[in-house]
Amino acid sequence: MIEAMTGDFLVKTKKELKKILKKGYSLMVIPNAQGSIRHLNIPYLVFITFFVLLGINTYFLCRYPLRIAEIVKLEQHIHSLRSVISKQDKELRRLDPCIRTTQEIERHLNKANAFLVNMRKQYNEVRNRKSAEEESLRVVHLPQYKLSSTDQDYSKLAILNNNLEYLEEEISYTTSSLKDLLTKYKAYDRQLDFTPTIWPLARERRISSSFGYRRHPIYNRLIKHQGVDLPCRYGTAVRATAEGKVTIAGVRGGYGLLVEIDHGYGYRTRYGHNSRLAVRVGQWVKKGQTIAYAGSTGTSTGVHVHYEVRVNGVPVNPISYMK
């Protein structure tokens, strides 16, 4: 039953297709002048195909100007991208010199850190300070990277950024350390102005009697000599060995005409047996300034300057401070 119905449907379909294919149109050509009329039979299928193709061509013909406009925009965008790429290429060519510059900065930082360690060591030496442990050199190490022509630019840019970040921290540390050390040196330099470091006499460098116990030339018995005696000519200028304030300027027993200066930081110096004084009590004097003139006043057997250095009130050997 089903097969019969299917067969009838196929037969009817074939008949309908044949009818449609037999249909068609006649194209007549009529001349303006006398002549025969011509006509052309166009099958239905060909007619339909012609209009379908005409519609497709019309669609693409209408879209063509739009496509042209899109292509023009794309070409303009490509041109702008090329200019950007050209600028970027010029910038990227500068990566290699920049990386080499960071390596130069690395070397300079290592030199600065070595200088810092050396100056700290010298600072401790002049201050008579002993460090608990030897200070180590802070070595700057950039990534061990060698430039190669095969390296890609973005990898070089990453290396450069890493170097700059690392160097920024190291420069900050070294700069801060150098500033701290400079502050210490300035403070110490100022303190040196108040520390006895020179001879009381500008030219004479002889010592006739040293610091410590000795047989007194007048009393003829062992007495501790609290300073050093510097022989010189009568009237030789005596100078302050450090900056400070005059606390004594006058006759003081066996010292004769005595000058005492308070330098602060626990330091006091005394200059005895002078022939005359050039300062008064309360006067502020500078290092190297003339404060008296040598003589033989007080308990003395000849022209000389008795020089004392006292630290926190205790007499110490002045030789350590006479440079």
Q: Where does 255-300 show beta strands of DSSP type E?
A: 257-264, 267-277, 284-285, 290-294
Residue 38 counted as domain residue: yes
> What angle (nearest 5°) sits at the alpha carbon of residue 240, between those of residues 239 and 246?
125
Between residues 323 and 232, the one the model is more confident about:
232
Q: What is the CATH number of the domain that holds 258?
A: 2.70.70.10
Q: In 10 A of CB 123, how many CB atoms?
A: 14
Q: Give the model confidence (pLDDT) of 2-36 as tens digits.
A: 666 666 767 777 776 666 666 666 667 777 777 77
Residue 206 counted as domain residue: no
- Are residues 69 and 126 in contact, defined by beta-carbon separation less than 8 angstroms? no
- Are residues 120 and 181 in contact, defined by beta-carbon separation less than 8 angstroms? yes
The whole-angstrom separation of Cα 16 and Cα 118 is 111
Do 174 and 217 sit in the same domain of this protein?
no
Do 109 and 185 sit in the same domain of this protein?
yes
Mean pLDDT comparison of 84-98, 203-217, 279-293, highest-scoring range = 279-293
Say if residue 235's pLDDT is above 80.
yes
Which range marks the domain in which residue 240 is found? 212-321
Do 118 and 168 sit in the same domain of this protein?
yes
Do 241 and 293 sit in the same domain of this protein?
yes
Do 219 and 156 sit in the same domain of this protein?
no
Do 224 and 296 sit in the same domain of this protein?
yes
Residue 178 counted as domain residue: yes
Residue 2 counted as domain residue: no
- Are residues 307 and 258 in contact, defined by beta-carbon separation less than 8 angstroms? no
Do 168 and 268 sit in the same domain of this protein?
no
Residue with tokens 């210490």: 184
Q: Give the model confidence (pLDDT) of 107-154 as tens digits.
A: 888 888 888 888 888 777 766 656 555 667 777 777 655 545 545 555
Structural domain count of the chain: 3
Residue 49 counted as domain residue: yes
Do 290 and 312 sit in the same domain of this protein?
yes
Residue 5 counted as domain residue: no
Three-state SS for 206?
coil
Do 165 and 224 sit in the same domain of this protein?
no
Do 123 and 172 sit in the same domain of this protein?
yes
Query: Can you give the pTM of this predicted structure?
Result: 0.51
Say if residue 199's pLDDT is above 70.
yes
Alpha carbon of 270 to those of 240, 245, 274: distances in Å? 9, 12, 11
Do 216 and 312 sit in the same domain of this protein?
yes
3-state SS of 155-193 is: HHHHHHHHHHHHHHHHHHHHHHHHHHHHHHHHHHHHHHH
Q: CB-based burial of residue 291 (10 Å sphere; 0-12 exposed, 13-18 middle, 19+ buried)?
A: buried
Three-state SS for 312?
coil
Residue 113 counted as domain residue: yes
Residue 255 counted as domain residue: yes
Helical residues (DSSP H) of 253-305, grouped into ranges:
none
Residue with tokens 């006509």: 39
